[in-house]
């Protein structure tokens, strides 16, 4: 009754070992691999990124132990668009024995929403909600309204934005352009976004900002305290300014090695979503795609 769920994103490799009978986490693993690092250059996943992914998976295998567990490995935007996706996944399989499935944006959004909904219920939040999942290569927006789900994936991610811009002005210009489709999607919905709709956020940017607000550092990150943390636009501005005032070494203490430019881009995307939705606060949720994959996999036993 144990499963291993693997989420290979455009920036991070996240692994979860889960006990289906007890309905709880056994072990988890996370590593920054920057899968999409070369996508904006030549449209491929380069050799160095592949090595980082393979090393992370082998390390996760060793630390968590996959033996006897049912494994489900999924990957998202970077591999959806990479010219060499087939070759990359075959290389990963040859080196690790793990076979990945490229899932589409809608599937990604639904699995993530499943995990977030469960976490919100655990927090005694049983309302309609809108969820933003700010990933490395894409951002998913999902509405849960009276049992119905409306979701869409947009090619707006922290890795691709960070790799395409040299300063905050360029970041904002890219986000403004790429978020037009988000506005169009929301305008096409047949319901009103008002104060009764809870705003939830998941992925590395919201959880990192929440951790900084709570005084946590990257190495002392505690998901149990992150879940349910309320963030406002003022919180985003405070933590963005803190990061901009720090040198690179100090930033890494709070956001991890190789993540500082990505989190800065992510905060800018997050602020834009706040503005589009006209929301004053959001609830931070640590659970995401890997948890959704695990929950779905458990139902197949």
The pLDDT tens digits of the residues spanning 241-287 come to: 999 999 989 999 999 887 888 999 999 999 999 999 999 999 999 99
- Rounded to whole angstroms, the Cα distance separating 64 from 67 reads 9
- Rounded to whole angstroms, the Cα distance separating 29 from 216 reads 18
Residue 26 φ then ψ, to 5°: -100, -45
- Rounded to whole angstroms, the Cα distance separating 68 from 79 reads 28
State the DSSP code for 219: G
At 18, the pLDDT band (50, 70, 90 cuts) reads very high
Interacting residues of 238 by C-beta distance below 8 A, sequence separation 6+: 213
Position 47 scores a pLDDT of 96
Position 219 scores a pLDDT of 87
Given this structure, which CATH class describes domain 2-103? alpha beta
**301 pLDDT higher than 70:** no
Position 258 scores a pLDDT of 79
pLDDT, mean of residues 200-217: 95
The fraction of the chain above a pLDDT of 70, given in percent, is 99
Same fold, 2-103 and 106-289: yes
pLDDT, mean of residues 49-78: 95
Q: What is the pTM of this model?
A: 0.87
Whether the Cβ atoms of residue 149 and residue 173 lie closer than 8 Å to each other: no
Name the residue with tokens 């290979």. Answer: 8
Q: Please give the structure tokens belonging to residue 117.
A: 């909904």
Please check whether the domain covering 106-289 is classified as CATH 3.40.50.720: no
Position 294 scores a pLDDT of 95
Each domain of the chain, given as residue ranges in start order, spans: 2-103, 106-289
């Amino acid at each position: 009754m144990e499963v291993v769920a693997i989420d290979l994103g455009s920036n991070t490799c996240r692994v979860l070992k889960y006990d289906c009978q007890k309905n709880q986490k056994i072990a988890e693993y996370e590593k920054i691999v920057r899968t999409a690092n070369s996508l904006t250059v030549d449209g491929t996943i380069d050799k160095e990124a592949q090595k980082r992914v393979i090393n992370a998976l082998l390390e996760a295998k060793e630390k968590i132990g996959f033996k006897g567990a049912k494994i489900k490995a999924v990957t998202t935007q970077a591999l959806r668009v990479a010219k060499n996706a087939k070759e990359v996944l075959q290389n990963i399989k040859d080196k690790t024995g793990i076979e990945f499935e490229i899932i589409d944006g809608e599937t990604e959004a639904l699995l993530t929403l499943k995990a977030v909904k469960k976490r919100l219920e655990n927090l005694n939040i049983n309302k309609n909600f809108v969820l933003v999942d700010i990933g490395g290569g894409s951002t998913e927006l999902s509405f849960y309204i009276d049992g119905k789900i409306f979701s869409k994936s947009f090619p707006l991610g922290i890795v691709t934005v960070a790799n395409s811009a040299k300063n905050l002005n360029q970041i904002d210009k890219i986000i403004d352009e790429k978020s037009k489709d988000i506005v169009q999607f929301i305008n096409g919905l047949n319901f009103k976004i008002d104060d009764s709709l809870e705003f939830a956020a998941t992925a590395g940017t919201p959880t990192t900002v929440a951790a900084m607000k709570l005084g946590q550092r990257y190495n002392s990150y505690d998901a149990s305290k992150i879940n349910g943390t309320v963030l406002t636009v003022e919180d985003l501005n405070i933590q963005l300014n803190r990061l901009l005032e720090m040198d690179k070494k100090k930033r890494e203490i709070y956001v991890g090695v190789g993540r500082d430019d990505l989190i800065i881009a992510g905060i800018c995307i997050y602020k834009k979503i706040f503005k589009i939705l006209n929301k004053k606060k959001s609830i931070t949720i640590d659970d995401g795609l890997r948890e959704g994959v695990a929950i779905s996999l458990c139902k197949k036993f």
